[in-house]
């Protein structure tokens, strides 16, 4: 039978080995999540709609000075022209506002600004939003063209990595307008 002294010694050795081994893997995991998140944000096309486009000599490109900050607050959109079928959707030149049968949607500010972006959000808020297609997991529905039916298939780990990366990008203060309902419903006063 081990004595108490021996038991304590073994416990200390085990604890020390965990402490030595614990920090570097944790840091490596965080770095890996950040890299994974950046990769996923890039290839999933988040910048296509959440970063305002600007016109360059090479054509329209995402303005990375306003990376992932959503529809610019200062750009007040007039009513969209009614498309002639089979055209259905109208997009702003910034590619951050879209008019269609659902009304008018504006892309969200994904930067970690606490008042206008995701700065106060938790990873649970983010995961539930994507998983349910509802704002914060329980509010209004997220509107097209946000590809919720595809993105809801991200794994929890992928979503956590994306959120980790989004919390690391430069803060941009930009209050995106609320979406507008379809003109027919607005006329009916709903």
Partner 1 sequence: MPRAVLHGSLPLLLLAVVCAPVIARASGEAALPEHLRDTGLYADGSMSQLQPDVLSFSPQYPLWSDGATKRRWIKLPAGTSIDASRPDAWDFPRGTKLWKEFSHGGPVETRFIERAMDGSWRYASYVWSADGQDAVLAPAAGVRGLPVPSAPDGRYSIPAQDDCRACHEGAPVPVLGFSALQLSPERDGQAPHADGAHAGTDLRTLAARGLLVHLPKDLLASPPRIAAANPTERAALGYLHANCGHCHNDDGPLAVLEMSLAQRVGAKESAGSVLRSLVAVSGQFRMSGNTTRVAPGEPDASVLALRMRSRDPLQQMPPLGTSAVDLEAMALISRWIESLSLQPK
Q: What are the residues binding partner 1 (CB under 8 A)?
A: 103, 115-116, 120-122, 124-125, 128, 132, 134, 136-141, 143, 175, 177-181, 185-186, 190
* Other C-beta atoms lying within 10 Å of the C-beta of residue 187: 9
Residue 60 beta carbon to partner 1: minimum distance, rounded to whole angstroms: 28
Contact 143, 179 (CB under 8 A): yes
Minimal distance in Å, beta carbon 115 to partner 1? 7
Q: How many helices (H) and strands (E) does the chain have?
A: 6, 5
Distances (CA, A) of 9 to 2, 18, 65, 162: 11, 14, 56, 43
Q: Which is nearer to partner 1, 47 or 97 (CB)?
A: 97
Toward partner 1, which CB reaches closer, 38 or 175?
175
Tokens 């379809």 label which residue?
182
When the beta carbons of 39 and 125 are compared against partner 1, the nearer one is: 125
Q: How far is the CB of 131 from partner 1 (least distance, A)?
A: 8
Neighbours of 30 (CB within 10 A): 11
Q: How far is the CB of 107 from partner 1 (least distance, A)?
A: 15
Query: Among residues 49, 61, 63, which one has the least CA distance to residue 92?
Result: 49
Residue 176 beta carbon to partner 1: minimum distance, rounded to whole angstroms? 10
Residues 6+ apart with CB under 8 A from 32: none
Which residue, 63 or 128, is less far from partner 1 as judged by CB? Answer: 128
Between residues 61 and 120, which has the closer beta carbon with respect to partner 1?
Answer: 120
């Amino acid at each position: 039978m081990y004595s108490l002294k021996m038991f304590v010694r073994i416990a200390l050795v085990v604890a020390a080995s965990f402490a030595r081994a614990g920090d570097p893997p944790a840091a490596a995991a965080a770095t890996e999540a950040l890299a994974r998140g950046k990769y996923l944000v890039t290839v999933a096309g988040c910048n296509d709609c959440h970063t305002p486009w600007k016109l360059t000599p090479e054509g329209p490109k995402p303005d990375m000075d306003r990376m992932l900050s959503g529809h610019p607050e200062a750009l007040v959109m007039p009513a969209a022209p009614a498309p002639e079928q089979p055209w259905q959707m109208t997009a702003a030149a910034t590619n951050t506002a879209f008019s269609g049968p659902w009304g008018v949607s504006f892309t969200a500010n994904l930067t970690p600004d606490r008042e206008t972006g995701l700065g106060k959000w938790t990873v649970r808020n983010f995961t539930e939003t994507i998983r349910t297609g509802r704002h914060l997991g329980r509010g209004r529905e997220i509107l097209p063209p946000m590809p919720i039916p595809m993105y809801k298939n991200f794994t929890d780990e992928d979503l956590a990595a994306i959120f980790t990366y989004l919390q690391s990008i430069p803060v941009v203060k930009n209050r995106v307008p609320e979406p507008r309902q379809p003109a027919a419903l607005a006329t009916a006063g709903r």
